[in-house]
Structure 1
Amino acid sequence: MEKIVEKAPGKREARKEERREAILAIAKRVFLDQGYSGASMSAISAELGGSKGTLWSYFPSKEELFAAVLDDATADYRRQLTDLLKPSDDVRATVLQFCRSFIAKITSPDGLRLHRLVAAEINRFPEVGDIFYRRAPLPTQQLLCAFFEREMAAGNLRRDDPLHAARALSSLCLGVQQRVMWGLEISVEERDREAQQAAEVFLRAFEPVREG
């Protein structure tokens, strides 16, 4: 049987991808610096160079550009979670590692700036909240949900709605972010302690029921 060899992307495709990455890098900085309302497609296009038509050919609206920026900003973390939340013989260790990684992500400088942007704009631009939720919290919850569904089926966690469990664990971790968002200094040691406490509270709540 003849082996099919996939062709490497041509120069045109490579240039197109480089251009797209450049747009996303500039757009991310503009959104974080100026907010959603302050960022304009014209300003992003001017900083990028070239015609406005170039930007619009990649992203037909500011909403689509903002969504793409979020997808790009969370891609590495989604891959990290996909690897972390594989079937495990030690559900306690996995839950704790998730709490540590999630708290690190949501309290990172870019994570905090992004959450402040959404909080500041959501009343005037409800679509910002919807775009953010579907690109950031929801994928995390869905990955957790799939992990918990497997662990509940295996008897390692109490049977319940796995999506409810995912949201519960996420909420336990978000308390740290709220404190940091309002300017409170929290050390690395304190964040790790918060992660351990969140994992412990969750695991007690979803401890499997042992018969006999």
Structure 2
Amino acid sequence: MRIPMSNDAPNGPGRPKDLAKREAILEAAKALFLSLGYANTSMDAVAAAAGVSKLTVYSHFTDKQTLFGSAVMATCQNQLPDLIFEYPAGAPVQEVLLNIGRNFQALICSDEAVKLSRLIIALGSQDPAFGQFFYEAGPKRVLAGMEALLREIDERGLLRIANPLQAAEHFFCLIKGAPDYRLLLGCAGPLEGDEAEAHVREVVELFIRAFEA
């Protein structure tokens, strides 16, 4: 999604500065997209909020849609990095799933994620392409990581999962469940503390029972 720049070389002298600017741009973009909406957020405004030139913004992100997608990816990556879907040797499958469940629960309950979900729903009613773009930038990557993990769990004989992608979808939908629906509607707050832990544990136990070897 991002055009590589010549100063993106791993050992280039300008890399730390460039990375810092990129992070500043992403943080500014997330804040503006969530507060002003997609249509009302301009690349000029992002540049001003990030303290960089508009040329610098375009050097990292070719257009506003690319910037939006990168902001979505960064939001997911912060809470669910790719490494979380790697199976540690000898780890109990329950602990691996609990770790993912807790992080996903924290992600969907964050104020940032709630505002982003509402924004996508609003944008999707205007242009369905935004919903697909959001899915490709965030949820699809998370599902792909979970699918690969569940396939490995099946191959190890820890659980019997005939369709890892479908099982991954079931897992995340169970974590979201009714609490997330009420949260998005604004008629309930996010699950926190012991309540969130109990919810995640119940989902993991249910999931394991469904796919027991």
Q: In which range does the TM-score fall when normalised by the shorter chain?
A: 0.7 to 0.9
Asked if the contact 2:72/2:134 (under 8 Å) is kept, the reply is yes
The amino acid that maps onto 2:166 is H
The amino acid that maps onto 1:25 is E
Tell me the CA shift for residue 142 of structure 1: 1.4
Tell me the CA shift for residue 50 of structure 1: 5.9
Instruction: State the partner residue of 1:124.
Output: 126
Tell me the CA shift for residue 46 of structure 1: 3.9
Q: 2:102 aligns with which of 100, 103, 106?
A: 100
Could you list the per-position Cα deviations for residues 108-135 of structure 1 after superposition, in whole angstroms to 9, with x for gaps in the alignment?
A: 1212122122122112133322222122
Tell me the CA shift for residue 88 of structure 1: 4.2
TM-score by length of 1: 0.83
Q: 1:180 aligns with which of 180, 183, 197?
A: 183
Instruction: State the partner residue of 1:149.
Output: 151
Asked if the contact 2:33/2:41 (under 8 Å) is kept, the reply is yes
Task: Look up the SS of the partner of 1:38 in the other structure.
Answer: coil
Q: Which has the larger radius of gyration?
A: 1
Distance change (3 Å), C-alpha of 1:22 and 1:165? same
Q: Which moved more, 1:192-201 or 1:70-79?
A: 70-79
After superposition, residues 35-74 of structure 1 pair within 5 angstroms as 35-48=37-50, 51-74=53-76
Instruction: State the partner residue of 2:5.
Output: none
Could you list the per-position Cα deviations for residues 72-116 of structure 1 after superposition, in whole angstroms to 9, with x for gaps in the alignment?
A: 222232145235x43444112222232222111111121212212
TM-score by length of 2: 0.82
Distance change (3 Å), C-alpha of 1:120 and 1:8? same
The amino acid that maps onto 2:164 is P
| CA–CA distance in structure 1, aligned partners of residues 63 and 10 of structure 2 | 32
Distance change (3 Å), C-alpha of 1:86 and 1:179? farther
**Cα RMSD (Å) of the superposition?**
2.3
Instruction: State the partner residue of 1:9.
Output: 12
Count matched residues.
201
Q: 2:171 aligns with which of 169, 185, 194?
A: 169
Q: Does 1:81 align with 2:84?
A: yes
Distance change (3 Å), C-alpha of 1:149 and 1:188? same
Q: Does 1:198 align with 2:200?
A: no
Q: 2:194 aligns with which of 189, 192, 203?
A: 189
Mark the runs of 5 or more structure 1 residues left unpaired by the alignment: 1-5
Tell me the CA shift for residue 161 of structure 1: 0.8
